[in-house]
Amino acid sequence: MTEAIYPGTFDPITHGHTDLVQRASRLFDRVVVGVAGSTWKQTTFTLEERVALVRVALHGIERVEVRPFDGLLVEAARALGTTVILRGLRAVSDFEYELQMASMNRRLVPEVDTLFLTPAEHYGFLSASLVREIAALGGDVGPFVHPAVASALVAKLQC
Q: Which residues bind ligand ADP (CB under 6 A)?
A: 8-10, 14, 16-17, 20, 41, 87-88, 90, 94, 119, 123, 126-128
Least CB distance to ligand ADP at residue 124 (A): 7
Least CB distance to ligand ADP at residue 101 (A): 8
Least CB distance to ligand ADP at residue 50 (A): 9
CB closer to ligand ADP, 1 vs 148? 148
Strand segments, DSSP code E, in 54-145 are 64-69, 84-88, 113-117
CB closer to ligand ADP, 1 vs 92? 92
Q: What is the largest CA-CA distance in the chain?
A: 47
CB closer to ligand ADP, 78 vs 116? 116
Q: Which amino acid is at 150?
A: A
Q: Which residues of 93-113 are buried (b: 16+ CB within 10 A; e: fewer)?
A: ebeeebeeebeebeeebeebe
- The answer to whether 71 and 102 are in contact (CB under 8 A) is no
